[in-house]
Amino acid sequence: MNYFQGRVRADGDEVCPKCGERRVRAWKDMKDDEREFVGRVFRPDEGERQRCMWCVLCWEEVRDDAPRFV
Ligand SMILES: [Zn+2]
């Protein structure tokens, strides 16, 4: 999976690298049903919930940390 490719920031809004929509949500900003879905599919641990965001449209995972591992 290409976490770091195609990441675009525009006016502070995270744009989904897959579908291009600004529907990327941090864990804390998700609704309960969205969290349930992400939790089931990605099984994020506590750290990943802090660092990662997910597109609620196509469920692409978007990492919000610096691309140290590229
Ligand atoms: Zn998307």
Compute the distance from residue 46 Cα to the ligand 1 centre, in Å: 22
**Structural contact between residues 21 and 65, judged by C-beta atoms closer than 8 angstroms:** no
Whether residue 68 has pLDDT greater than 60: no
Q: Which of 59, 40, 66 is nearest to 1 (CA)?
A: 59
Compute the distance from residue 58 Cα to the ligand 1 centre, in Å: 4
Tens of pLDDT, residues 18-29: 999 999 999 999
Top-confidence residue, 13 or 46: 46
Compute the distance from residue 54 Cα to the ligand 1 centre, in Å: 8
* Domain coordinates in residue numbering, the chain: 8-63
Banded pLDDT at 14 (limits 50, 70, 90): confident
Mean pLDDT of 33-54: 95
Compute the distance from residue 44 Cα to the ligand 1 centre, in Å: 18
Q: DSSP characters for 1-69?
A: --SSTT-EEETTEEEPTTT--S-EEEGGGS-HHHHHHHHHHT---HHHHHHEEEETTT--EEE-S--TT
Compute the distance from residue 53 Cα to the ligand 1 centre, in Å: 11
Banded pLDDT at 64 (limits 50, 70, 90): low
